[in-house]
Homo-oligomer: A and B are copies of this chain.
Amino acid sequence: MKDNTSKILIFNDKEYPCCTSLTMGVIGGKWKTVILYHLQTTQLRYSELRKVMPTVTERTLSLQLKSLEEDGLITRTVYTTKPPLKVVYSLTDFGKTLIPVVKAIADWGDQVAKDVVKK
């Protein structure tokens, strides 16, 4: 029997034509996997994220963090009421389900890279 239908996948009200494009919709973009990579084993403050990702702008980092939070992958916790603020980001349980994916992505990048040390 011929199947003239096509299956659409849905996550957070967005439609995707393929399971891989769904995942890429969530962790795609230039910086999201980098953030998740650094949060794999430890929580980090905003300023610590900036240190390990020196080439991202504040605006972009802020937007990407907000997007990851909206998708339920990370949590933002504020530890002070008055400035100086202490804000910490960490993976949620749902975010932790992405660790195998992030590891696979990181490992492949490691293996194929020629690395160069810059001052």
Q: A16-B109, A97-B108, A98-B108 are in contact. List 20 more A-B contacts (CB 8 A).
A: A5-B118, A6-B118, A7-B118, A8-B115, A9-B116, A10-B114, A16-B113, A18-B33, A18-B37, A19-B106, A19-B107, A20-B34, A20-B36, A20-B37, A20-B102, A21-B30, A21-B109, A24-B28, A24-B33, A104-B104
Q: Is A4 an interface residue (CB 8 A)?
A: yes
Q: How many copies does the complex hold?
A: 2
Which residue of the partner chain, among B54, B98, B105, contacts A24 with CB atoms under 8 Å?
A: B105
Report whether over half of chain A's contact residues are helix, strand or loop; otherwise say mixed.
mixed
Total count of chain A residues near the partner, CB < 8 A? 51
B-chain residues with CB within 8 Å of residue A19 when the two chains form the complex: 37, 105-110, 113
Q: Is A119 an interface residue (CB 8 A)?
A: yes
Q: Is A112 an interface residue (CB 8 A)?
A: yes
